[in-house]
């Protein structure tokens, strides 16, 4: 039995948050769809059942096979998981009198139960369901209630099976992390040993075993993800790693030169390839965001194919794919969840390329990537760089791409980012950038009427990019930046600030 946790996903929007909270406890966990578990459950020390958009009363209700889990391993059912363990094991679930969403407070807590150790009445929890548990099987014991939900939590007698109607993984459940720790550490006995150092040791060992003496080509962007991936691979295969940094013509101002300079002293084998004309030619006339992403992704593949042919016997393409990339591109459940956007670095390669993919960071979040990088001694300034989209400025130029639009956006973006640094705001922002809008605005400069572009500034706070909130930047800062942009960048006469959160908006505009 390994020291890790299995999360069975029923399609909940909160499943990834469960994983994040578990990992914050220094416990490794994996998410697997309930209907396609391709792992041996005996390799996991505890199991968590997620919520679901489905009702246990519907014909489409997810029905997992728990024969190797329930009563045999510590099990925690959350929301749908709690209702499933009731409805299909002798209890009754029905429609609640009112939809139960949002904040609630525990009105009763069984403090003698280990699940609620250190958690008391009036603790705030987060509800998100329209069904409720009406009747529980005889061997189920209530261990927590709210004013409106009597069966808010229970334990099954004779088993290490627990269930809660609320969501401990969301921020608004104030003692949610404590509850998960009580279950995983106190009840299941999982050791809190999953640290950045342990991840590095395990990943390097796995890469050595997987790659052997094979040669690997890596697309290095200068960002946190590809840098950490490169250092991990360098530890595993050394001189067999070939890093390529491609200038797609859509980078920030002076970024191609500064990124190459940044890696000079890191001991990595890096080659710079200027493919600006190739990318801009392929983007000519394209306005649809998905078509632009795909054009950029396809050209990256073509560039790498050309460069890979210059390396004798290269067999692998390494990518800095991280967990949110995977989640947003393809449903974790493999089900019908909508794709928000495609990612140029997620998915397979065309047959002609003949390279296999290796993704050392595929299962970890952005904040975890930074902690791993810090543990390997990567420079703090590099690790502190804001995320930058793989397709670059192409998805910050709404509409078609031209060299002149790229020039305008590069100039505006440079003023904004340098301003954040000068005002000591850069490290207080998770990601910042500028969008060039496909509209012209009437303005007046001197005695002349202008009809020029509008740009939107965007700065957000986030932990991993899954959710984000806009940053309340000082008015004086925004005033200064707006003046610098309008006075210093030919072609722009209006600046606006985006105050949308994710959700419902996304961080990028395309």
- Report the alpha-carbon distance of residue 474 to residue 434 in Å, rounded: 17
Structure tokens at 170: 């969301």
Burial of 398 (0-12, 13-18, 19+ CB in 10 A): middle
> CA angle, 325 as apex, 305 and 438 as ends, to 5°?
85
Q: Would you call the peptide bond into 504 cis, given omega within 30 degrees of 0 as the criterion?
A: yes
Structure tokens at 238: 């050394």
**159 catalytic residue (yes or no):** no
**169 catalytic residue (yes or no):** yes
**87 catalytic residue (yes or no):** no
Strands of the sheet with 46-49, listed across from one edge: 28-33, 4-9, 46-49, 75-78, 161-164, 153-156, 140-146, 92-109, 124-135
Q: Which of 29, 32, 54, 79 is catalytic?
A: 79
- Report the alpha-carbon distance of residue 256 to residue 277 in Å, rounded: 14
- Report the alpha-carbon distance of residue 394 to residue 405 in Å, rounded: 10
Q: Which of 32, 100, 129, 169 is catalytic?
A: 169
Give the start-end residues of each E strand in 36-178. 46-49, 75-78, 92-109, 124-135, 140-146, 153-156, 161-164
Burial of 176 (0-12, 13-18, 19+ CB in 10 A): buried
- In the block, tokens 């299909």 appear at 88
Number of alpha helices (DSSP H) and beta strands (DSSP E) in the chain: 13, 18
Q: Which of 87, 129, 167, 343 is catalytic?
A: 167
Beta-bridge partners for 318: 218, 358
Buried b (16+ CB within 10 A) or exposed e, 366-376: bbbbbbbbebb
DSSP of 21-37: HHHHTT-EEEEEETT--
- In the block, tokens 């009036």 appear at 122
CB within 8 Å of 464: residues ≥ 6 apart: 20, 323, 324, 365, 366, 367
DSSP of 251-288: SPTTHHHHHHHHTTTTT--EEEEE-HHHHHHHHTT---
Give me the active site residues, please.
79, 167, 169
């Amino acid at each position: 039995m390994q020291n890790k946790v299995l999360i069975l996903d029923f399609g909940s929007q909160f499943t990834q948050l469960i994983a994040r909270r578990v990992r914050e406890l220094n416990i490794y966990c994996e998410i697997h769809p309930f209907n396609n578990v391709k792992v041996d459950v005996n390799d996991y020390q505890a199991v968590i059942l997620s919520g679901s958009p489905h009702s246990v009363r519907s014909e489409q209700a997810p029905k997992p096979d728990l024969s190797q889990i329930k009563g045999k391993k510590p099990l925690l059912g959350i929301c749908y998981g709690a209702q499933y363990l009731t409805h299909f094991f002798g209890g009754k679930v029905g429609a609640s009198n009112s939809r139960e969403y949002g904040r609630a407070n525990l009105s009763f807590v069984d403090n003698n139960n280990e699940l609620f150790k250190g958690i008391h009445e009036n603790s705030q929890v987060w509800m998100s369901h329209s069904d409720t548990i009406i009747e529980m099987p005889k061997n189920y014991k209530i261990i927590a209630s709210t004013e409106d939900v009597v069966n808010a939590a229970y334990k099954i007698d004779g088993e290490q099976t627990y269930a809660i109607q609320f969501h401990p993984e969301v921020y608004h459940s104030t003692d949610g992390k404590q509850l998960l720790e009580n279950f995983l550490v106190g009840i299941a006995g999982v050791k809190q040993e999953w640290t950045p150092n342990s991840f590095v040791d395990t990943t390097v060992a796995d890469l050595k075993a997987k790659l052997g003496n094979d040669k690997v080509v890596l697309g290095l962007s200068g960002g946190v993800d590809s840098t950490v991936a490169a250092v991990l691979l360098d530890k595993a295969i050394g001189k067999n790693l070939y890093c390529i940094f491609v200038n797609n013509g859509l980078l920030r101002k002076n970024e191609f030169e500064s990124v190459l300079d940044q890696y000079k002293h890191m001991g990595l084998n890096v080659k710079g390839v200027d493919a600006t004309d190739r990318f801009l030619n392929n983007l000519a006339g394209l306005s649809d965001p998905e078509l632009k992403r795909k054009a950029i992704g396809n050209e990256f593949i073509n560039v790498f194919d050309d460069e890979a042919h210059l390396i004798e016997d290269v067999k692998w393409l390494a990518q800095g794919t991280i967990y949110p990339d995977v989640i947003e591109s393809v449903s974790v459940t493999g089900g019908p969840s909508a794709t928000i956007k495609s990612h140029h670095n997620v998915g397979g390669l065309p047959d002609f390329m003949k390279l296999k993919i290796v993704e050392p960071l595929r299962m970890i979040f952005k904040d975890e990537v930074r902690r791993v990088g810090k543990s390997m001694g990567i420079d703090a300034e590099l690790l502190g760089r804001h995320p930058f989209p793989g397709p670059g400025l192409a998805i910050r130029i709404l509409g078609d791409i031209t060299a002149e639009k790229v020039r305008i956006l590069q100039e505006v973006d440079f003023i904004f980012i340098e301003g954040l640094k000068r005002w000591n705001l850069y490290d207080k922002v998770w990601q910042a950038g500028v969008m060039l809008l496909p509209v012209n605005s009437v303005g007046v400069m001197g005695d002349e009427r202008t009809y020029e572009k509008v740009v939107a500034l965007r700065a957000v706070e986030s932990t991993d990019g899954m959710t984000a909130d806009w940053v309340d930047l000082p008015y004086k800062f925004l005033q200064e930046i707006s003046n610098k942009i309008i006075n210093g960048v030919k072609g722009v006469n209006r600046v606006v600030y985006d105050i949308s959160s994710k959700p419902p908006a996304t961080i990028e505009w395309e």
